[in-house]
Chain A
C-alpha cells in the first residue's frame, strides 16, 4: 500500500508541476508581472505534495481493518481518528475496484455498502486482490 500511495503522490506532484509550469510559461509570456503567482502556487503544491509523501507511513499506520465474527471494523485518520463498525448482516453490497496502478501491485479497493443514510459506504482503499475477492465472495454469500 505504501509504494502505491507513494507512486500516486509522485504522479500527482508531476502533474501538478506540469500544470503550474505551463501556467508560468503562459503567464510569463502574456503578463510577466503576474508570473510569480504560478511560481507561488507551484511552490505550495510542491510543499503540499512533499508533506503528503512524508505522511504516507503515518497514514498507513492509522489504517486498520478486521473482519471477525459478526462485523467489519475499519479504523483510519491521522488528525481525526474514525472507527466504523458494520454488522455483517447489514451489508447490502460489496464492490471491489482496481485501477491500472493497483493491478500492478495486485491490490484492489474494497467498498462495503449499507443502507445507512450518513455513512452508506465503508472503503478499504487497498487490500490484496485475492483477499478482496475472497471477502467480496464471503460477505456476498453469507449471512
Chain B
C-alpha cells in the first residue's frame, strides 16, 4: 500500500450530492410563480442553459474533488490529501492511531462500500469516504496493532498467567451513609437550593412553605447527591473501578496509566466543614471505557486528598507547603481588577436606582446619594482587598521530579496534580497588562475531552522569567518520556 490510492468511484455520487441540492433548489425556484431568469440581465436567456451549466459545474467539481483525494499507507504513516481549490494534506503516524472505525451509510450499503475513519485521539481524523469493503477491512487489520501480541500488564484480559490468578482489589475511597449525609449538606447545589427555598418560603408565607421545602429537599437530594450514593473506588491490577449512583447505578473502569489529571477540589462550604472532593480526568480515546471525568472520592477529610493522589500516581514528590506563590505584583493587579468589576456593578446599580427614583418621583436628597455611593465605594475597597489577599494565598505551583502541582481558585480551591509525562503542550500567555507588570500565565494541557468538567491547569501571574523556565522545563520533561500512543 505504499503507493497513492484513489477512493471508490461511488464517492463521486456523494460529492455531487452536496451541490445537487443547490441545483434542485434552483430548479424549484425557477418554476416558482415570481421568479424569472430573464430578469437577471447578465445571465444567458433561458433557465435551462443556466441549470445545465450549474449541473455540469457540480458534476465537474465532484469529479475533480474525487480525483484530488488520495491516500497511502507507508511503513510508519497513513497519508491523506484532498482538495481542488483548498488543498489539505494530512499525515498520521501509525503508532499514534487509537481507533480505526468502519461504517456504511445508506449509500454505502446500497453500493457495498465503507467509510473508514482513522483517529489518533485528536481532532483531526482521516476519513476515507468511500473505499471498497475489502480495502476497508485490510486497512483496519493493517493499521491497528496485532491483537496476537498480548499486553504483559497484570489484570489485562489475555495476559497469560494473570488470567488464572485472582487479582487483588484494594478499596481506596468509599462513601458510607454518614459520609453521604455530610456530602449532601456541604454540597453547593443543596445548600444554595435550600437557601432559595427558605427565601421563597418566607416570601409566600409559612403555610405553603413546608410542602415546598419537602419537595425541594427531595429534588435537591437527587440533583446534588443521588449520583454519588454508595460511592466506591477500587484499584484492581492496573485498573481503577468506580461504582456509584442510587437510581442509575454506574460501574466504570479506566486504566491507571490513562489518568491525566487528578484535582483536589475544596468548595467554599465544604472547605468550611473541613472536607474536600477528589476528581480525575482520563483520556479514553478508544471509547471502550466511559470514565472521562469522574470522582475519585466525593468526600475526604481536608488534607487527605493528596494522599489519595499518591495512591494513584505514586509519590508526587511535592506538598502544599512547596507551592510557589505568584508574583507580588499580582496583588495589585488582582485588586484593580476586582475593584473595577465592583465599580461597574455599582454603576449599573446606581443607574437602575436613579431610574426607579425618577420614574416613581421619590424624594432622595443629594446628600443621601453621596453617602450611599461613598459607602459602596468603601465596601468595594475592603472586599477587593480581602478577595485579592485570599487570591494571592490560594494561587501557587510546585514542580516535582515527575509531577507538577498547581493551585487555583479563590472560593473554590482547586489543587491539580499533573504527571509531567502526560503533558501534551505548554502555553505561555502574556496580556498587555501582564507584559507591563512583567508576569505571565502558563497553561498546561493534557489529553482528554474538551467538555471535561475539570478546568484548565493554569499557573497564574508568575514572573515572566520564571514562567519561561517553567514552560521550558515542563516541555523538556514531557519530551523525555515517549508515550506508546501519545496519550
- Listed in ascending order, the chain A residues whose CB lies under 8 Å from chain B are 69-71, 79-100, 103, 111, 113-122, 133, 136-137, 139-141, 143
Contacts and interface: CB of A to CB of B under 8 A. Distances in A.
A112 B138 CA distance: 28
A96 B429 CA distance: 25
Interface in B215-235: none
B315 interface: no
A86 B430 CA distance: 18
A140 to B, nearest CB: 3
B435 interface: yes
Most B C-beta atoms less than 10 A away, residue of A88, A136, A140, A143: A140
B380 interface: no
B446 interface: yes
Given A83-B427, A103-B87, 9 more contacts: A70-B480, A71-B475, A83-B429, A87-B479, A92-B96, A94-B90, A97-B86, A117-B445, A119-B443
Contacts of A69: 479
A115 B285 contact: yes
A141 to B, nearest CB: 5
B447 A117 contact: yes
A28 B482 CA distance: 65
21 contacts: A82-B427, A85-B425, A85-B474, A89-B483, A90-B423, A90-B424, A93-B124, A95-B88, A98-B87, A100-B86, A103-B87, A113-B120, A113-B122, A114-B122, A115-B447, A116-B446, A116-B447, A117-B447, A118-B443, A140-B76, A140-B77
B432 A79 contact: yes
A92 B478 contact: no
B375 interface: no
Contacts of B120: 92-93, 113, 115
A79 B121 CA distance: 32
Contacts of A119: 425, 427, 443, 445
Interface in B451-487: 452, 456, 471-472, 474-476, 478-483, 486-487
A93 B122 contact: yes
Q: Which has the most chain B C-beta neighbours within 10 Å: A70, A85, A139, A141?
A: A85
Contacts of B155: none
B427 A84 contact: yes
Q: Give the 3 A-B CB pairs with smallest separation, nearest first.
A: A140-B91, A116-B424, A70-B479
A89 B89 contact: no
A8 B122 CA distance: 30
A132 B428 CA distance: 24
Interface range, B side: 35 or more
B307 to A, nearest CB: 27
Interface of B: 76-77, 79, 83, 85-93, 95-96, 120-124, 283, 285, 423-432, 435, 443, 445-450, 452, 456, 471-472, 474-476, 478-483, 486-487
B425 A86 contact: yes
B60 to A, nearest CB: 17
Nearest to A114: B424
B446 A96 contact: no
Contacts of A117: 445-450, 452
A116 B432 contact: no
A89 B283 contact: no
Contact of A121 (B90, B91, B123, B449): B123
A118 B91 contact: no
Contacts of A143: 95, 482
Contacts of B90: 93-96
Contacts of B450: 117-118, 120
Nearest to A115: B447
Nearest to B77: A140
Nearest to B82: A97
A70 B475 CA distance: 9
Nearest to A138: B91
A87 B86 contact: no
Contacts of A83: 427-429, 471
Nearest to B447: A115
Given A100-B85, A113-B120, A70 B93 contact: no
Contacts of A136: 89, 91
Given A95-B88, A97-B88, A136-B89, A88 B479 contact: yes
Given A116-B424, A116-B445, A140-B92, A80 B122 contact: no
A115 B483 CA distance: 12
A140 B80 CA distance: 12
B284 to A, nearest CB: 11
A93 B479 CA distance: 16
A103 B122 CA distance: 27
B326 to A, nearest CB: 18
